[in-house]
């Protein structure tokens, strides 16, 4: 991965110290991407941060601002003059502005809104009303709208005029009384006769989503159909904005991270790993740990009821971690694959029995192999006689089958009842499997060895 | 998520039975997306599949073909005449063609290559040589190249001529003797004076990647900078292709699924959950299960060495699942967050100590809380006296701290030594934590209770 030789943190600090502002300003303009600059500035002190920010050209300043974390943004908002702030706000895309505002304390929001003109403020207030994680909350209200009677020439003319400050002009949207009736790709505009009219070349069989649709579904749709942007309509089918592919990619990355955190028993949060304080980390990890630790009491109570058995055959205890561990792993394999299948839309609740049937067959094969291997191992290592080897083998087999069925079923059920399937991952599954494994284990041994 | 009322599987089958080929052909053209059709055809019998495929227009046929699984492709390849096959191959984009060929048996590949013209065959053989998962293997060789002395008018003219069968024309690439020297967005072409020359408006500070770069890194780069396409150059810095954002999104989805599978101890495979046979599922899940089950032997040996202690105090066994379970969960929380941080490029090996320091502080807070809660619980439930409560509390604390440190360290070490960090997820961590937990546990109890 090569980029042009970069302007490093050290280099910037050095130029600041030597007060080489003019050179730095140039370097920043020609040799730095806003997203990278935002990363670098994270390490800077307030004073330096503000100094560098003031050196940036309007557009760069606005874009860099959108990539900053909320602390940095607040520093700047407090340091900048109203007119400076106004400039930044003017340059920012509406959807970014809204993201910024959503994280800011009320007083700051007021100050920011003051810095924006009437029309924009109205649009912002509109956008702020869409539910979090909805298509409306990530959409961009800047797009090119054409009318069907326009000629290709008119259309290109219009793009020339308004295109400059549109985040994307690659697809144009044909509307009639604000209702979406078709789409035209810029490619088609450039490669057909200028005298043809839009309604001749527009594609009326277009994909679109509602403002209230889930942002992840919208992003998956953009991936599936390989779109550059997806038009968003309100409930009257009026076009209100577009979700662009770059925003879709960020949405997916966020959602994946969220899923993966939940699957590990961590309450998801928007901030990065290092951006999250120790206290917040504790807060997001503790609940599941407490819940799972306490539910393990059940396992313990079961085992205590077999104290007598353990007193007679203490070696029985030695097999427990292996049995519960294997059960947990089998369960998490199944639950994880199903959770992922649900996330990317391959598996749905109606596939429940198809999934169970598949997992059962898998479980049977695996259980036989593991049971035999483990039984043999016990005999070879002399950890028990044939009877013991057989008993453990049978327990192992039951454990695997139960674990796989539980593991594949729970995520689907969760989805059905409107929970996030990801909570049915390893931590919960392994605790449930522990309980079933130990019950089965002691039921079998106490029967076999008449304990 | 609304799409135009869709052509359902049932409807297609019905029209086939009634031999309404003409109507079906129209419906398929106006009212069906290739990616959806490919999904529907999965359920069809060979004969029907071929019938429907023959009804499709060239372009649709080619695109649908690229979305099919390898079984369906083989059925078609065997059913189609050479001239039909030729048409499909002509319409397919090179990168898709290569994907198709990579999965096909040699004899089929030969037949397919026969069906392509000289020039294209040469390009295909070129692409087939790039290592799997490299930028070269996912790139598209169709793009628009401009030279710097062209005027904007010339450029637009060129796009008009060649643009029609280019997968993307949104960004044009300026080359000089095939070397990449700049990029021009179509937006800039349309919004600046036609008489200006390309070198006046081109952006020379552009991002690019090498053919040998990892496809995931390239995709992450496209996400980070919000690009529509990234130019790919060879080692002489000559432009050889582009990776488009839609391919990048698919790459990321694949890579995420792969990571998640590995994290659950499942050997990743390209096929979907249902597309994978029971036998393949067993094959991909068994190795880790076997390995982990056998490594649990260590835990068992440790416990057996304390058989005497267990005979005296059998209730000691009851605490084991809770201790190992909690340890496993703590460890997997840390490892998962670090693995994700590595995947999205937020955490790197040089952050090792920064991460450990953070996890230690988190672990201390959590361990105190869990220890106290658990100790209290033991007293309340009368599962032991103050001494027992204290001992378990201490063990719990040690377990949590060890688990978190191990959990956050191993993924970073794995990355450093060139392994996939994802293998250091829950399954492995929890087995390692089991071993340390049980050693600590028995060491403490046998000391406290003089066993």
pLDDT band at A330 (very low <50, low <70, confident <90, very high): very high
pLDDT band at A127 (very low <50, low <70, confident <90, very high): confident
**Cβ contacts of A265 on chain B, cutoff 8 Å:** 329, 332-333
State whether A325 and B366 contact (CB < 8 Å): no
Q: Which of residues 304-333 of B touch A (CB under 8 A)?
A: 304, 307-308, 310-311, 314-315, 317-322, 324-326, 328-330, 332-333
pLDDT for res A2: 43
State whether B370 and A340 contact (CB < 8 Å): no
> What is the model's pTM?
0.84
pLDDT band at A436 (very low <50, low <70, confident <90, very high): very high
d(CA B52, CA B198): 47
Q: What is the pLDDT of residues A59-115, one digit of tens each?
A: 889 889 988 888 888 888 888 888 888 888 888 888 888 888 877 778 778 888 887
For A379-410, b/e burial (b = at least 16 CB within 10 A) is: eeeebbeeebbbbbbbbbbbbbbbbbbbbbbb
pLDDT band at A384 (very low <50, low <70, confident <90, very high): confident
Q: What is the pLDDT of residues A279-306, one digit of tens each?
A: 999 999 999 999 999 998 899 889 888 8
Distance of CA A298 to the CA centre of its chain: 34
ipTM over 0.85: no
pLDDT for res A165: 62
pLDDT for res B308: 87
pLDDT for res B183: 93
Asked if B324 and B433 touch (Cβ cutoff 8 Å), the reply is yes
pLDDT for res A166: 61
Helices B34-42 and B70-79: angle between axes, nearest 10 degrees: 90
State whether A2 and B164 contact (CB < 8 Å): no
Low-confidence ranges of chain B (pLDDT < 70): 1-6, 164-167
Cα nearest neighbour of B375 on chain A: A294
pLDDT at A4 over 80: no
Cα nearest neighbour of B247 on chain A: A226
Candidates B160, B329, B369; nearest CB to A292: B329
d(CA B329, CA B407): 10
> From the candidates A322, A363, A393, A446, which should be mutated to test the interface with B, based on the most B CB atoms within 10 A?
A322
Candidates B218, B318, B426; nearest CB to A332: B426
> From the candidates A7, A289, A351, which should be mutated to test the interface with B, based on the most B CB atoms within 10 A?
A289
Helices (H), B68-166: 70-79, 82-91, 94-103, 106-114, 118-128, 135-138, 152-162
CA distance A19 to chain B (A): 25
Phi-psi region of B438 (alpha: psi -120 to 50; beta: other; left: phi over 0): alpha
Domain architecture of chain A: domains with CATH: 9-129 (1.25.60.10), 145-261 (3.10.580.10), 278-449 (1.10.357.20)
User: Is A434's Cβ below 8 Å from some Cβ in B?
Assistant: yes
Per the prediction, chain A carries an average pLDDT of 88
Instruction: Please report, rounded to a whole number, the percentage of residues in chain A having pLDDT higher than 90.
Output: 45
Q: Which of residues 184-243 of A touch B (CB under 8 A)?
A: 186-187, 190-191, 205-210, 213, 217-218, 221-228
DSSP string, A367-388: HHHHHHHHHHHHHHTTSS-HHH
Beta strands A229-233; B229-233: pairing state: unpaired
pLDDT at A168 over 90: no
What are the residues whose beta carbons fall under 8 Å from the beta carbon of B142, sequence distance 6 or more? B93, B94, B165, B166, B167
């Amino acid at each position: 991965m090569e980029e042009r030789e970069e302007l490093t943190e050290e280099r910037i600090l050095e130029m600041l110290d030597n007060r080489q502002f003019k050179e730095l300003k140039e370097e920043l303009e020609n040799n730095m991407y806003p997203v990278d600059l935002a990363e670098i500035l994270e390490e800077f002190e307030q004073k330096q941060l503000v100094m560098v920010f003031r050196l940036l050209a309007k557009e760069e300043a606005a874009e860099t601002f959108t990539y900053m974390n909320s602390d940095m943004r607040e520093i700047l908002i407090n340091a900048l003059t109203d007119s400076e702030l106004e400039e930044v706000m003017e340059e920012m895309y509406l959807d970014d502005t809204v993201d910024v505002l959503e994280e800011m304390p009320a007083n700051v929001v007021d100050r920011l809104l003051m810095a924006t003109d009437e029309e924009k403020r109205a649009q912002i207030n509109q956008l702020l009303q869409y539910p979090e994680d909805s298509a409306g909350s990530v959409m961009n209200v800047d797009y090119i709208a054409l009318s069907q009677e326009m000629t290709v020439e008119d259309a290109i003319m219009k793009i020339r005029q308004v295109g400059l400050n549109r985040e994307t002009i690659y697809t144009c949207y044909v509307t009639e009384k604000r209702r979406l009736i078709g789409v035209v790709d810029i490619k088609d505009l450039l490669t057909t006769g200028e005298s043809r009219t839009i309604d001749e070349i527009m594609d009326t069989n277009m994909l679109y989503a509602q403002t209230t649709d889930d942002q992840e579904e919208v992003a998956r749709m953009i991936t599936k159909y390989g779109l550059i942007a997806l038009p968003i309509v309100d409930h009257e089918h009026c076009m209100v904005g577009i979700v662009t592919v770059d925003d879709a990619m960020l949405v997916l990355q966020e959602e994946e991270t969220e899923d993966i955190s939940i699957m590990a028993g961590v309450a998801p949060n928007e901030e990065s790993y290092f951006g999250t304080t120790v206290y917040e980390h504790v807060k997001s990890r503790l609940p599941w740990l407490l819940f799972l630790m306490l539910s393990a009491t059940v396992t313990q109570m079961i085992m205590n009821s077999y104290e007598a058995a353990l007193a007679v055959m203490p070696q029985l205890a030695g097999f427990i971690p292996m049995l519960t561990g294997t059960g947990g792993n089998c369960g998490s394999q199944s639950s994880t694959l199903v959770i992922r299948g649900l996330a990317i839309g391959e598996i749905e609740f109606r596939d429940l029995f198809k999934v169970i049937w598949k997992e059962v067959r898998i479980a049977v094969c695996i259980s036989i192999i593991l049971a035999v291997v483990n039984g043999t191992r016990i005999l070879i290592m002399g950890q028990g006689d044939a009877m013991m080897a057989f008993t453990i083998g049978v327990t192992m087999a039951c454990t695997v089958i139960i674990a796989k069925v539980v593991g594949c079923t729970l995520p689907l059920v969760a989805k059905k009842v409107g929970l996030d399937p990801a909570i049915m991952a390893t931590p919960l599954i392994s605790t449930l499997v522990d309980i079933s494994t130990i019950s089965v284990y002691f039921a079998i041994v106490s029967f076999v060895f008449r304990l």
